[in-house]
Amino acid sequence: EVFLKKIYFDHNATTPVVDEVFEAMLPYLKDEWGNPSSIHWAGRGPRKAIDDAREKVCAFLNCVPVELIFTSSGSESDNLAIKGTAFAKKAKGNHIITTKVEHPAVLNTCKYLEREGFEVTYLDVDSYGLISLDELKNAITAKTILITIMYVNNETGVIMPVEEIGKIAEEAGVTFHTDAVQAAGKLKIDVKNLRCDLLSISGHKLYGPKGVGALYVKRGARITPLIHGGHHERNRRGGTENVPGIVGLGKACDIATRDMDKENAHLLNLRARIEKGLMERITHVRLNGHPEKRVANTANISFEFIEGESLLLNLDMLGVAASSGSACTSGSLEPSHVLTSMGLKPEQSHGSVRFSMGRTSTIEDVDLIIEKMPAIVARLRSMSPLWSDIEKKGVELELNVKTKTCG
């Protein structure tokens, strides 16, 4: 059985480039091909396009053009923020604070810095995926030079208390970076309210192209460049700019500002529907993450006693794209580090599916999934030795209840 329509519920992994973005990029792939660093006629159009895009991204984040560096991705923005700060401030101290549920672009950068002589504290999260602000305060020492904590978790959609973290960092005089890749386009971002020194975003998570990201660097914050070259990006990142990508990111930020409220209302409705629908029809399921403190598009659900991978393959055969864990780690057999940190057992973590919806998702899409999932889950559970034990217990319980009521 195959759906006639393909359903894409993996928007946290990547989003389709919307038509308006594609059209804005086209001239810079074809006619306006000059090097933006050239002072002659061929470079002037591309240079102006970069300046205009920078203005748009700055309006989106509430910062000024000198505070924005264009990069190749969210991962590069994270690396530049974390390594850049660590190396620029290592004379002051060598201690970094992050959480156990960060994206690999942050966690693996911190692990690299540990090998380079830095010390990293990885904060725990509670069963909802949130950190304790008191634990954060207690972790700060005289040697702490950076706090790097994500705005929105990519697997669960949980929103961290970033404004409060910003205040704590500011009071302690510690540089604060937030990976806002999953927040951009879903939440209004204001770097002044967040009191952050550094903030990362990525084009392809908000209906822009892949291969472009940006890093906000508050005026006065010092970072050491990762890529040395010409005078690009005010000497902070060498390399000829990706003009079409930058134009696309600027346009995507404009569209996000315009459509966010309407889109979020639509997505909240879909999310409530899919969660309620699946939980009413299937037993032994749990919602992962905070019930309220979550972005509107993300539902992470564990189906116990089965493998998430098998569920995904069955959904894929029906034309439904979803995921388990983050896109960057889906090739690994390890249970999700995010769900494990939230206290889930490895088998619960392995049975989790992330449905992340987007601007083209519909009620019909959600209803098709609600209709097809119970049979898929039942079939996969019928092959699971763990499930047959549960079923036996269920039968015994039912018998006990019946005997009690009869007696």
Burial of residue 74 (CB within 10 Å: 0-12, 13-18, 19+) is buried
How far is it, in rounded angstroms, from Cα 235 to Cα 226? Answer: 11
How far is it, in rounded angstroms, from Cα 339 to Cα 189? Answer: 26
Q: Indicate the DSSP class of residue 240.
A: -
Q: Is 110 a catalytic residue?
A: no
How far is it, in rounded angstroms, from Cα 110 to Cα 178? Answer: 14
Cα–chain center distance at 354: 12
Amino acid of residue 213? G
Amino acid of residue 128? Y
- Tokens 């979020």 belong to 264
Dihedral of CA 213/215/216/219: which sign? negative
How far is it, in rounded angstroms, from Cα 377 to Cα 311? Answer: 7
Residues with Cβ within 8 Å of 91's Cβ and at least 6 positions away in sequence, in order, are none
Residues with Cβ within 8 Å of 336's Cβ and at least 6 positions away in sequence, in order, are 155, 324, 325, 326, 329, 349, 352
Query: Nearest CA to 237 among 363, 73, 118?
Result: 73
Q: Are 364 and 319 in contact (CB under 8 A)?
A: no
Catalytic residue among 58, 63, 196, 328: 328
Cα–chain center distance at 298: 10
Q: Give CA separation, 236 vs 52, 80, 180, 227, in Å.
A: 19, 9, 20, 8
Active site residues: 328
